[in-house]
Amino acid sequence: MSRLVDWPVGKLTSVRSRESGNPVLYFLALGPRFRGDERKFGFALAVFLLLVSPALAQDKKSPPRNYGIGQIATPEQIAGWDIDVRPDGLGAPPGKGSVKDGEKVYVERCAACHGEFGESAGRWPQLAQGKGTLASHDPVKTVGSYFPYVSSVFDYIRRSMPFGDAQSLSNDELYAVTAYVLNLNDIVDDTFVLSKETWAQVKMPNRDGFYDDDREKSEKAFWNSKPCMKDCRGPVKITGHAAVIDVTPEDKTPRKGGVD
C-alpha cells in the first residue's frame, strides 16, 4: 500500500492514460473486460482515496470510469477503415504509380467529369490551372493553385473518387492518378513516379498559402460592449437588389404583399 501515498490526486478529470503520469486513472479506467482484478482494486482504491483525500472528495467532476462497453478493435478491422494520409506521408499505403499509368486511369475514370486536362467538364470541379489567381477578383482554386499538400489530394481521391464509385481504385492506380493530376498542374514532370519514397519530393505551390485563424486579433473591432444605437451612420442607400439579379429558384412561397 505504500505506493498509494505517492499517487497524485485531484486530476481525475484527465482523460489521459497511465503514460500521462496518473496511475489512478489507469486503474479506474480498466474494465472487467480488460482486467477484472485490477478494476476491483481500482474501485477499492477510489473509495479509499475518497475517504482520505478531502481535495478529491470535493472534486465534483466524476472520475473517468470504464463501463466495460465496447470491444477491442483488431488490427485487421482497423486496417480496413484506416485510410487517412497525413502531409508527412503517415498512412500512405504501399504501392506506386507513374504519370503515364495515371493518364490511363484518369481518362477512363475521371475525365468525364473533370475534363481531359482537369479543366472541368460542365459544372464539375476544375482540378488544374488557376495559378496566380488567388488574389484576383475571380480566384480559381485547384489542386495546383490551392491545395497545400499532396496528402490533401491523395487522401481525398482515396476516400471519395471517382464520385459514385468510391474506394474502388487499387493503391497503384491511386498513386498513378494522383501523379497524373499533379502533372496536369505542372507540379511533377512526365516521368515522375509517385510512391511513399518520392512523396516528400513533391512541392505544392500553395504550401505556404495558409495561416491560422486570427479573427480574435484581426477582427478585434467586432468585440464592442457598447455598439452604437442612435444616428450610427449617414443616409442609407439601396445599392443592390436580389430581385434584379433574379437567380432565386421559383418556389410556391407567396411573395406579393397583401397590402393595398
Partner 1 sequence: MTDSNDDAPKPETTSRRRFLAGAATLGGLAAAGAAQAGNPKNLPPNVADWSKHLGDGVAVRPYGHPSKFEKDVIRRDVQWLTASRESSVSFTPLHELDGIITPNGLCFERHHAGIAEIDPDDYRLIIHGLVDRPLIFTLDDLKRLPRVNRIYFLECAANSGMEWRGAQLNGCQYTHGMVHCVQYTGVPVKVLLEQAGVKPAGKWLLVEGGDAAAMNRSVPLAKALDDCLVAYRQNGEMLRPEQGYPVRLVVPGWEGNMWIKWLRRIEVGDQPWYTREETSKYTDLLENGKGRKFTFEMDAKSVITSPSPQAPVKHKGFQVISGLAWSGRGKVTRVDVSLDGGRNWRAAKIDGPVFDKCCVRFYAETEWNGEPWLLQSRAMDDTGYVQPSKDDLRKIRGVNSIYHNNGIQTWALKASGEVENVEVG
Backbone angles phi, psi at 2, to 5 degrees: -65, -25
Q: Which stretch binds partner 1 (CB under 8 A): 1-9, 46-54, 164-172, 176-184?
A: 164-172
Binding mask 71-90 for ligand HEC (x = CB under 6 A): --------------------
Q: Which does 54 bind (CB under 5 to 8 A by kind): partner 1, ligand HEC, none?
A: none
Contact 16, 22 (CB under 8 A): yes
The footprint of ligand HEC on residues 104-123 (CB under 6 A) is: 109-110, 112-114
The count of chain residues that interact with ligand HEC, using the rule CB under 6 A, is 19
Under the criterion CB under 6 A, does residue 176 sit at the interface with ligand HEC?
no
178 and 153 Cβ atoms separated by less than 8 Å:
yes
247 binds, options ligand HEC, partner 1, none, Cβ within 5 to 8 A by partner type: partner 1
Binding track, positions 58-97, relative to partner 1; x by CB under 8 A: ------xxxx-xxxxx---xx--xxxxxxx----------
Query: Residue 158 burial (CB < 10 Å; 0-12/13-18/19+)?
Result: buried
Give me 33's grid cell.
473486460
Residue 131: CB minimum distance to partner 1, A: 11
Cβ atoms of 184 and 127 within 8 Å: the answer is yes
Beta-ladder partners of 194: 97
Examine residue 160 and tell whether it contacts partner 1 (CB under 8 A): yes
Helix (H, G, I), strand (E, B) or coil at 98: strand
Q: Which of 154, 156, 197 is nearest to 179 (CA)?
A: 154
Q: With contact defined as beta carbons under 8 Å apart, do 159 and 152 qualify?
A: no
Q: Which residues bind ligand HEC (CB under 6 A)?
A: 109-110, 112-114, 124-125, 127, 141, 143, 153, 156-157, 161-164, 177, 181
